[in-house]
Amino acid sequence: MSEKNGLVKNASFLMMATLISRVIGLLYRSPLGVVLGTVGLGYYGYANNVYVILLLISAYSIPMAVSKVVSERLALKQYRNAQKVFHGALLYAMIVGGVAALVAFFFGNYLLPVNQQQALLALRMLAPTIFFSAILGVMRGYFQAHSTMMPTSISQILEQIANAVVSVGAAYLLIQMFMGTMEVPADQAGQVMRATYGAVGSALGTGVGVLVALLFMAGVYALNRGMILRRVQ
């Protein structure tokens, strides 16, 4: 009965976190659109599409795989093997995520449409996020294997809050810094430049959100590291 209650509790935490994250995502879209403008949103959209595809290839299934394999080892009280799986998954995530990040950074121009090369700077800003997301996926899967969704739930909310604040703020600051004004220029070259810097700022927000979530998960692991090592020993 207690195990069933635990599952319901964890599912509730994750559902609430997902709901809150979606609401935050909806709320910041409007001010972001005002800052970036239609062209800037378009550049960010193209960069984000490539980012999502590379993320799916490199890190999409990591949390589920880590959670399944580690939970099996924990159920058999093979704590040392569970830790080996965790370390191996981290190494795998670093390699695969690192390769995908390098592809996005150095070969992004081949992945973007020919007429949307202005989105390249935003894609390069998103490149390190692929690497961090892969590691974050391992951390989330590891704690899910311990039958707790609380760290994952909180990290999702923190990620979305940081993403919303930094996306709008960084886009505004970069446009103001390089253009000197938030007004949309009359010439096409000025419009392209404004949209490019706005898209870069929005991409920076995505990266900061993932990094904040990763730092939170790393902090949770550090707090529990002593207990984990005692079980391994």
- What is the per-residue pLDDT for 7? 60
- Is the separation of the CB atoms in 170 and 35 below 8 Å? no
- What is the per-residue pLDDT for 149? 87
- What is the per-residue pLDDT for 8? 67
Per-residue pLDDT of the chain (233 residues), as tens digits, is 445 555 667 777 778 888 998 899 889 999 999 999 999 999 999 999 999 999 998 888 888 999 999 999 999 999 999 999 999 999 999 999 999 999 999 999 999 999 999 999 999 999 999 999 999 999 999 999 988 888 999 999 999 999 999 999 999 999 999 999 899 898 999 999 999 999 999 999 999 999 999 999 999 999 999 998 898 88
Q: Which amino acid is at 99?
A: V
- What is the per-residue pLDDT for 17? 85
Q: Residue 103's closest CA among 132, 124, 133? A: 124
CA distances from 53 to 60, 114, 138 (A): 10, 18, 19
